[in-house]
Structure 1
Amino acid sequence: MPIHCLQKLATLDVSNNFFQGHIPVEIGTYLPGLMHLNLSRNAFNGSIPSSFADMKMLKSLDISYNQLTSAIPERMAMGCFTLEILALSNNSLQGHIFSKKFNLTNLKRLQLDGNKFIGEIPESLSKCYLLGGLYLSDNHLSGKIPRWLGSLLALQDIIMPNNNLEGPIPNEFCQLNCQKVLDLSNNNLSYNRLQGSIPNWIDRLPQISYLLLANNYIEGEIPAQLCQLKEVRLIDLSHNNLSGHIPFCLVNTALSEGYYDAVAPTWDHASAPALSYFSPNGSPMGKEETVQFTTKNMSYYY
């Protein structure tokens, strides 16, 4: 840490190093003017310092891929009200995600995947009307998928596989006209013993790029409304009880384009490349997600 307070330092990126030990508890006091802070992919342990709340202009904070424990400090959830990107993925954070005392209403991307969070998805997130990406996979979350998620109209990615969520998929999701990815696999609802038929209202989700409904109990015919999903690039309906014909009109979707350019090459998780969440000027970059796709009884990861 610097000897004196650095008021004018706006960006600090020390990611992908071999830093160990605790993140200094007074970091917010010494660097109060930070707007972008990236400490990801190190070996920091201990708790998240509550002094992050002293960074009153902080827009992006990435401390993912470390060995942090404990919970998200309540003072940070109240004081970092300018935060737009919060990436805490792949640590060992515990407890409930947020308490009722919550003021991060400017969040655009929340990445909490790969931790040990418990309890329900907190209702405090219903205030985040700018939220475009919600990543909660690989935790121990339980309860129902909240209906108020359908009122967050900026949502594009809802990624929540590998939890203990249950109950129905809310009809309110049909209001999310910007939605591109919805992954609820490996819960108690999807991959997941889904029954019935593919709903005719599926065309009300025009931004869907990947539709993966494999390994369920879906029956009936494949609806022609799938042809209205002009952006869809992968459809996996394998291992169900479908009957009838494949709609010929699917050639009018992105499925007919050169798929070698549409998807990334395959890799296994052990050799997956490091992802960067911030460009040099601090603006957010896309977060890659791996999807499993089955064809001719062979499963591939894209």
Structure 2
Amino acid sequence: MLNNSDATDTKNGFNFLFGTIPSSLGALSKLQDLKLCLNNLHGEIPQELGNIQTLQTLILDFNQLSGPVPSGLSNCTNLTWISLSNNQLSGENPRWLGKLSNLAILKLSNNSFYGSIPPELGAVNVQGEDQKKLDVVSNEVAFKVLSRFRGGPEEA
């Protein structure tokens, strides 16, 4: 997919890519944007992506990815946008997402996540109130939406 360790972005959406996401992408230490949406990728999201501390955007929508979201992504503290919608991801909603203080957009819809929306997401400090987006539709989630994302009091 990529051979250049100095690459800062990859925009390979809707290119009919198939197979798994190579763990070797974790060695791209300068990568800022990883956009592999609208392909035919399957398997788990590699834990090694957590090695890319410069990563700001992770968009993997509309694939056939499965398994949990790797906790190693908590190391990617520059992430502002995570979009994993329309896959076959599963597991409890990742609490470590609350550690990503720059996170502005989180899209997890149409997967098989379960549990409450982690209260740690309330700790996310986003620049500009209008930039915050939270999308967890079509998951088995207990919707107690945090005021940080709704702009009002907590709702049950």
* 2:120 paired with 1:172: yes
TM superposition shift of 1:151: 0.6
Partner in structure 2 of residue 161 of structure 1: 109
Q: Tell me the amino acid that sits aligned with residue 135 of structure 2.
A: D
Q: Structure 1, residues 259-299: CA drift from partner, whole Å, max 9, x if none?
A: xxxxxxxxxxxxxxxxxxxxxxxxxxxxxxxxxxxxxxxxx
SS at match of 2:116: coil
Percent of aligned positions that are identical: 32
Distance in 1 (CA, whole Å) between partners of 2:125 and 2:74 is: 17
Correspondence for 1:90 among 22, 31, 38: 38
Partner in structure 1 of residue 7 of structure 2: 58
Question: Which deviates the most, 145-154 or 177-186?
Answer: 177-186
Cα distance change on mapping 1:102 and 1:148 into 2, 3 Å? closer
The answer as to whether partners of 2:44 and 2:67 remain within 8 angstroms in 1 is yes
5 Å matches for 1:113-152? 113-152=61-100
Distance in 2 (CA, whole Å) between partners of 1:135 and 1:92 is: 16
Correspondence for 2:20 among 71, 84, 97: 71
Partner in structure 2 of residue 181 of structure 1: 133
Unaligned stretches of 5+ residues in structure 2: none
Q: Structure 1, residues 23-54: CA drift from partner, whole Å, max 9, x if none?
A: xxxxxxxxxxxxxxxxxxxxxxxxxx3xx2x3
SS at match of 1:167: strand
Correspondence for 2:47 among 89, 95, 99: 99
Q: Tell me the amino acid that sits aligned with residue 54 of structure 2.
A: N
TM superposition shift of 1:100: 4.7
TM superposition shift of 1:99: 3.3
Unaligned stretches of 5+ residues in structure 1: 1-48, 212-224, 229-236, 243-302
SS at match of 2:30: coil
TM superposition shift of 1:66: 1.5
Distance in 1 (CA, whole Å) between partners of 2:48 and 2:35 is: 20
Distance in 1 (CA, whole Å) between partners of 2:86 and 2:107 is: 10
TM superposition shift of 1:103: 2.0
SS at match of 1:189: strand
Give the number of equivalent residue pairs.
Answer: 151
